[in-house]
Structure 1
């Protein structure tokens, strides 16, 4: 039997050769696609690393917001996801095995992108051009996304533009913070509003400290941000890793005299919304302990009216009165005497009489603080140690007050003061509620509440 052999024309053979060639060319493409698909499914695929650019012409166009230059540079064919690597000299402390250390001029490199540069500097049109050219909106070579950068630098229009192009409101930077967590300036309020409008979670927590945006806003004394977050359902009494609620965070943050009012507004908003004034941190310090340590009289008054415990001790055995007495010398412009007065009127423990010379030494720059403390006793044993505790320059500056104080070495307290002390002892812990209801003349009511007279009698 003869075997049948197919016969091909020259045309059919040529067609077959072309098909085989096309298949050979397609194999790498198909294989590459399948490999990338498999990698994406496994979560191991990443796009190619962007090109690093050190060109000063490119950097100058971006850092100055030169729109025409940016359009010319980032035109068709130029990579959109280029990484900028600016360099600059910086003195750093270098340690080695032979000497303790020395200052050396080194070059620190910071990775950024055109999106970061334009977003952080408010160059909205340059940013728009880059986004239209297809730049990756969530690229973060230096740890922050461009959205982090815009919010941190208080550039609301750039933040809004990035969000419109799909920026991730939940992206975390290298410190575990989302864009809402880096809104730490008063001027960043509009950025925060845009983030929430685009779906940012108002109770999201950082990875390192478990801070919420409310913690951050309270810590930085931002009443408008606090109000915004509360209106969008922020959790009031959520504690971070240090045990701080937002109220604890506001009370514990160092405050200069110019920021006292802002922090008072923050605390007022939080307490009006129902913040718990009794929650203590890991060291058992309550908001009242912290407000006394930072010497904010308005916040102390609010906390006391909300029922804060005036004699609660922290782990170190300190009551709120101890905290304010420790900082009087450094917080004179905060009116620390008002805090001491308020604490005593709410039933605070007094200083052990044997420790009064030490208190005089550290609080002598605030005679009114000493006046409030002294008027909490019916009798005192004043010795030479009291006089020696006052620095001569302070003694001279407040001579009239200290002369009235040291005159008590030879004379008893006045009958008027003894009557006051007796009534205060009877009403201890209730003065702030009872005295306003007695219908007393203003002078007598103020006298009972330790009003300042700038001398003792």
Structure 2
């Protein structure tokens, strides 16, 4: 049963103060456990540090934060002098929501709090001049209070100039984020191609894996339909037959990724490049799904034609007993814009079995049912 109790204004203020103190204690423990430094609060930056200006300190100064988030070089230069603290820790709201219980036992949906630094903020927004200033002031290039480095942020943005600058100051191209990603794994957009180039030139491992999905950079590039990335990665020795956690090769990953009609050509070019480089057209994943099964699920007639022309087994079954023809027929209703009839035609032209022997009696029974007015039962 729900119960409510009246609180005086004084009592409510005491509860609020208790809550604030608990939050401060929680934050202090969090900072100490992650950086092994005693927690201090820095409100303007110009106060500096007692021990070292390079020691990470907490920053809550909104003027400093505003200068960083807007890329105001003059204000950044004003706050981050040669004697000022550089490796500040700033708490921000992340992109993901989570349930938290903080006020009087009530659950609420709030944005997850994340820890960042001036270096991360400027790198993620492409503020190259501000980033250079911070690096010249001695900012720790591989500092990762929120679980990822500034190089991760620059690659995800993507900002080629920031990536180049960070690497020139010694950023680790093999740094692993808290989520198990290296900077190369975060290059997922077409305009991140030069970031990939820079990382590979500075020693990033082309076949490194993500910790959870076990993807290589080639899996990720193929999945996002990035032809230039695929070509570059292959030139640096990316493994064509590497399998991820789901047993997918990069070709499987490209064929499996749902895409819009306007992206069909892009995915065709990726698959064409992989196949011409020697990728196995009959590589099966954990569910015995072959590239042809997956391409038919996505109703990409160009990819299906490519695989069939290269000798893909048109009648091979997956773990559920479905062939490529089953998959396209099941997908037809919600893939009309992809012209699924072209996929069906290609499969039939290459010898897809129209009726499986085990289904023959059902088909005959269905025909008899309709001939007798549709009232019979199978």
TM-score range, shorter chain: 0.7 to 0.9
Per the alignment, do residues 51 and 238 of structure 1 end up closer, same or farther by CA in structure 2, a change over 3 Å counting? same
- Say if 2:370 is the partner of 1:383: yes
Per the alignment, do residues 384 and 139 of structure 1 end up closer, same or farther by CA in structure 2, a change over 3 Å counting? farther
Structure 1 residue 108 displacement after superposition: 3.3
2:41 corresponds to: none
Structure 1 residue 270 displacement after superposition: 0.2
1:320 corresponds to: 324
Structure 1 residue 62 displacement after superposition: 0.3
User: Which of 166, 171, 177 in structure 1 is aligned with 2:181?
Assistant: 177
CA distance in 1, matches of 2:373, 2:335: 22
RMSD: 2.8
1:252 corresponds to: 256
CA distance in 2, matches of 1:337, 1:240: 32
Structure 1 residue 209 displacement after superposition: 2.1
- Say if 2:206 is the partner of 1:202: yes
1:242 corresponds to: 246
Q: For 2:219, what is the secondary structure of its paired residue?
A: helix
Structure 1 residue 200 displacement after superposition: 1.1
Structure 1 residue 93 displacement after superposition: 4.5
User: Which of 73, 81, 94 in structure 2 is aligned with 1:67?
Assistant: 73
Q: Is the 8 A contact 2:99 2:109 kept in 1?
A: no
1:121 corresponds to: 125
Per the alignment, do residues 385 and 151 of structure 1 end up closer, same or farther by CA in structure 2, a change over 3 Å counting? farther
CA distance in 2, matches of 1:219, 1:91: 26
Structure 1 residue 86 displacement after superposition: 2.6
2:138 corresponds to: 134
Q: Is the 8 A contact 1:284 1:314 kept in 2?
A: yes
- CA deviations on 1:349-399 (whole Å, 9 max, x unpaired) are 114467679x9xxxxxxxxxxxxxxxxxxxx769269999xxxxxxxxxxx
CA distance in 2, matches of 1:305, 1:334: 20
- CA deviations on 1:219-273 (whole Å, 9 max, x unpaired) are 1110110011111111111111211110001001111112111110100000010
User: Which of 314, 327, 340 in structure 2 is aligned with 1:336?
Assistant: 340
Q: Is the 8 A contact 1:221 1:262 kept in 2?
A: yes
Per the alignment, do residues 105 and 348 of structure 1 end up closer, same or farther by CA in structure 2, a change over 3 Å counting? closer
- CA deviations on 1:178-215 (whole Å, 9 max, x unpaired) are 11110001111111111111111111111222211101
Q: For 1:78, what is the secondary structure of its paired residue?
A: coil
User: Which of 163, 168, 180 in structure 1 is aligned with 2:167?
Assistant: 163
Q: Is the 8 A contact 1:91 1:104 kept in 2?
A: no
Equivalences for residues 443-454 of structure 1 within 5 A: none
CA distance in 2, matches of 1:158, 1:47: 29
Bigger CA radius of gyration: 1
Per the alignment, do residues 225 and 89 of structure 1 end up closer, same or farther by CA in structure 2, a change over 3 Å counting? closer
CA distance in 1, matches of 2:372, 2:99: 48
Equivalences for residues 354-369 of structure 1 within 5 A: none
**More strand per residue: 1 or 2?**
2
User: Which of 291, 294, 309 in structure 1 is aligned with 2:295?
Assistant: 291
Structure 1 residue 92 displacement after superposition: 4.8
CA distance in 2, matches of 1:270, 1:385: 53
Q: For 2:261, what is the secondary structure of its paired residue?
A: coil
CA distance in 1, matches of 2:97, 2:197: 39
User: Which of 73, 77, 83 in structure 1 is aligned with 2:83?
Assistant: 77
1:281 corresponds to: 285
- Say if 2:166 is the partner of 1:146: no
Equivalences for residues 384-423 of structure 1 within 5 A: none
Would you say how many aligned residue pairs link Structure 1 and Structure 2?
319
Per the alignment, do residues 319 and 105 of structure 1 end up closer, same or farther by CA in structure 2, a change over 3 Å counting? closer
2:60 corresponds to: 54
Q: Is the 8 A contact 2:283 2:290 kept in 1?
A: yes
- Say if 2:354 is the partner of 1:350: yes
- Say if 2:203 is the partner of 1:222: no
Q: For 1:108, what is the secondary structure of its paired residue?
A: strand
CA distance in 1, matches of 2:361, 2:269: 39
Q: For 1:86, what is the secondary structure of its paired residue?
A: strand
Structure 1 residue 87 displacement after superposition: 4.7
Q: TM-score under structure 1 normalisation?
A: 0.65
1:232 corresponds to: 236
CA distance in 1, matches of 2:374, 2:173: 63
Q: For 1:258, what is the secondary structure of its paired residue?
A: helix
Q: For 2:262, what is the secondary structure of its paired residue?
A: coil
